[in-house]
Amino acid sequence: MAASSLPVIHHGRYPLVRSLGSGSFGEVWLAEDLFQGDQVAIKLLGSHVHLDAALLEAQVLTRLRLHERVVTIRNIELSPPVPFIAMDYMPGGSVGDRLHAGHVSLLEAVRWTREGLDGLAHAHDEHVLHRDLKPDNLLLDANGRAVLSDFGIAEDTMRNLLVVPHVYVPHMAPELLTGAASSRASDIFAMGCTLHRLLTGDLPFASPTDAAAGTFVAAHRINQQIPMSVTRVVARALAVNPADRYEDAREMLGALMNCDVSYCWTRADQPGDLETWSATGADGEYVLRLAQRTRGDFLVAVTRDMGKGARHVYKETFHRRSDAERQRRNLLVRVLETGATP
């Protein structure tokens, strides 16, 4: 869109700077707020958008505006010539952007999900179902913290308001296939799908039919450093029976907060090693090595450097590579997550 053809927003208060993307409701633009002297995100509502749906999103965001993990609405205009919703600008982009770029660590996956659940718990407390939970709807502020956004197809259960009768299909809970209504449990399922994707880079289920079967590859089998405690959170959130999931976002948040995830390993192979992993812990720099020795057996070793030179904290040899790799998987979780070695 040429600069000369850009619409004038709210009598010139919000000059548009650049497009941030588009969605089912229309285009989102970065704009200057000449009154407040900062930048905002402007959602320009397309002519196809039912204004009742836009009004519901604005009303929901207004209800939730006081929570730091929910995007804040600044202004709204639903009448011609240019209907729009103005919201806080999130300069970090979306968690979905990071996922598509392949740059999500274990720490980020857990932290962003915790922050999204914090915002979702507030929404559930206010009787609001999000119904569109996915990495693209977790935005990142200037400090890299996640903020829940895009309540465009939310459901206000307290007032029984529902405008757009659909959900994000790749994260659709099995019961919705049979005509059941959206619920906190279906939001939990979608957040479980989100966490699994951030941990592994892939959806847990290829289709809603597969979700109904309830079979998927556990997260820790795909990403070797994921603690079992995190895997169990994902598994419960993705339970086929809604009654077997967490009651609401606050309960799931509590479970994820109890998972001890403070550090993560980075693969950084060195010449002569089959695998090399490094990480920074509260008590020093760790290096984990898997190597084949000249005599044919396999060495698994962990060293820790507390600033006075590296010291071995674990060292063992194995006759079979499969045994060495199994121990390496154990150590990736145990050394940093629990501070324990065998």
Kindly state whether residue 58 falls inside one of the protein's structural domains.
yes
Residue 244: other Cβ atoms inside 10 A: 13
Q: What is the pLDDT along the chain (342 residues), one digit of tens a residue?
A: 545 578 889 889 999 999 998 766 778 999 999 999 999 999 888 776 666 667 777 777 777 777 889 888 888 888 888 889 898 999 999 999 999 998 788 889 999 999 999 999 999 998 888 888 999 999 999 999 999 988 766 565 544 444 444 567 889 999 988 888 889 999 999 999 999 999 999 999 998 889 999 999 998 888 777 888 899 999 999 999 999 999 999 999 999 999 877 667 788 888 999 999 988 766 788 899 999 999 899 999 999 898 888 888 899 999 999 999 989 988 887 776 555 565
Pair (160, 208) in one structural domain: yes
Pair (234, 279) in one structural domain: no
Pair (235, 170) in one structural domain: yes
- pLDDT recorded at residue 339: 58
Kindly state whether residue 273 falls inside one of the protein's structural domains.
yes
- pLDDT recorded at residue 158: 47
The answer to whether the CB of 113 falls within 8 A of the CB of 169 is: no
Kindly state whether residue 320 falls inside one of the protein's structural domains.
yes
The HSE-up count of residue 35 (CA atoms within 13 Å, CB side) is 10
**What's 36's domain CATH number?**
3.30.200.20
Pair (41, 154) in one structural domain: no
Pair (296, 326) in one structural domain: yes
Strand partners, 280: 285
Using CA atoms, how far apart are residues 71 and 67, in angstroms rounded to an integer? 8
The rounded Cα 25 to chain-centroid distance in angstroms is 22
The answer to whether the CB of 191 falls within 8 A of the CB of 113 is: yes
Kindly state whether residue 342 falls inside one of the protein's structural domains.
no
Torsion on CA atoms 77, 79, 83, 84, rounded to nearest 10: 10
Using CA atoms, how far apart are residues 99 and 228, in angstroms rounded to an integer? 22
Of 257, 286, 303, the residue at which a domain comes to its end is 257
Pair (205, 303) in one structural domain: no
The answer to whether the CB of 273 falls within 8 A of the CB of 281 is: no
Encode burial over 180-193: b for 16+ CB neighbours within 10 A, e otherwise. Answer: eebbbbbbbbbbbb
Pair (248, 101) in one structural domain: yes
Kindly state whether residue 245 falls inside one of the protein's structural domains.
yes
Pair (76, 101) in one structural domain: no
The answer to whether the CB of 125 falls within 8 A of the CB of 98 is: no
Of 257, 286, 320, the residue at which a domain comes to its end is 257
Of 88, 107, 128, the residue at which a domain comes to its end is 88
Kindly state whether residue 270 falls inside one of the protein's structural domains.
yes
**What's 110's domain CATH number?**
1.10.510.10
* Token pair listed for 70: 């929910």
Pair (145, 279) in one structural domain: no
- pLDDT recorded at residue 59: 76
Pair (13, 133) in one structural domain: no
Kindly state whether residue 213 falls inside one of the protein's structural domains.
yes
- pLDDT recorded at residue 336: 65
Encode burial over 46-68: b for 16+ CB neighbours within 10 A, e otherwise. Answer: eeebeeebbebbbbbbebbeebe
Kindly state whether residue 292 falls inside one of the protein's structural domains.
yes
Pair (61, 105) in one structural domain: no
Q: pTM for the full model?
A: 0.77
Q: What is the DSSP string of 167-221?
A: --GGG--GGGGGTPPP-HHHHHHHHHHHHHHHHHSS-S-SSHHHHHHT----HHH
Q: In what order do the strands lie in the sheet with 128-129?
A: 128-129, 155-156, 161-162
Question: Based on the structure, what is the number of domains in the chain?
Answer: 3
Pair (36, 156) in one structural domain: no
Range of the structural domain that residue 322 is part of:
266-337
- pLDDT recorded at residue 337: 59
Q: Phi and psi for 230 in degrees, rounded to 5?
A: -70, -40
